[in-house]
């Protein structure tokens, strides 16, 4: 025998089974709150919390632009610019909503209102352009003078 293991060979292993629950029983829950020293959260005792640099500014510009363009697209539909404003409002509203989803912006309602108003502006412009095309196509004669053309479009054939 060697002197490495005095006593019994192989050496006795400690009995860990005393700490394990019996078969089919749940283990004991970990100790609850109240154990250990109380450490208040940062900033709750008058001291400032951890600072990780200056806060990042919100990028709310596209949501606001979508709302403004959506509002402008409805009356601008009469002069046929509403189609362009409405399309831009829809695009800016979608980008603004994506920024809100990523946490970069905080103006979800403005982006949604710009999206909806832009869609209304596009639909209204489409209807008015369709009416204009219909009136122009109903003029069977091709007027040579601009006043005759204006009369044909305004009053019909």
Residue 3: exposed, middle, or buried by beta-carbon count in 10 A (0-12, 13-18, 19+)?
exposed
Task: Give how far Cα 97 sits from Cα of 61, 62, 70, 84, 105, Å.
Answer: 12, 9, 15, 20, 8
**Going residue by residue through the chain (157 aa), what tens digit of pLDDT does each one get?**
455 556 656 666 766 666 666 776 766 666 566 566 666 665 555 555 566 667 777 889 999 999 999 999 999 988 888 999 999 999 999 999 999 999 889 999 999 999 999 999 999 999 998 888 887 777 766 656 667 767 776 766 6
Question: From CA 28, how far away is CA 30, in angstroms rounded?
Answer: 7
Question: From CA 39, how far away is CA 88, in angstroms rounded?
Answer: 53
Question: From CA 119, how far away is CA 26, in angstroms rounded?
Answer: 59
**Residue ranges of domains in the chain:** 61-128
Task: Give how far Cα 149 sits from Cα of 17, 115, 133, Å.
Answer: 101, 37, 13
């Amino acid at each position: 025998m060697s002197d490495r293991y005095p006593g019994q060979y192989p050496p006795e292993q400690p009995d860990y089974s005393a700490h394990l629950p019996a078969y089919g029983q749940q283990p004991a829950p970990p100790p609850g709150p109240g154990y250990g020293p109380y450490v208040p959260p940062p900033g709750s005792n008058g001291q400032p919390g951890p600072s990780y640099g200056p806060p990042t500014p919100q990028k709310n510009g596209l949501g606001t632009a979508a709302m403004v363009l959506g509002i402008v697209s409805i009356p601008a539909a009469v002069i046929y610019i509403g189609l362009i404003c409405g399309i831009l409002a829809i695009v800016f509203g979608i980008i603004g909503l994506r920024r809100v989803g990523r946490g970069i912006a905080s103006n979800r309602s403005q982006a949604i209102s710009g999206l909806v108003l832009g869609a209304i502006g596009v639909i209204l412009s489409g209807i008015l352009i369709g009416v204009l095309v219909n009136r122009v196509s109903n003029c069977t004669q091709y007027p040579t003078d601009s006043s005759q053309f204006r009369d044909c479009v305004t009053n019909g054939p």
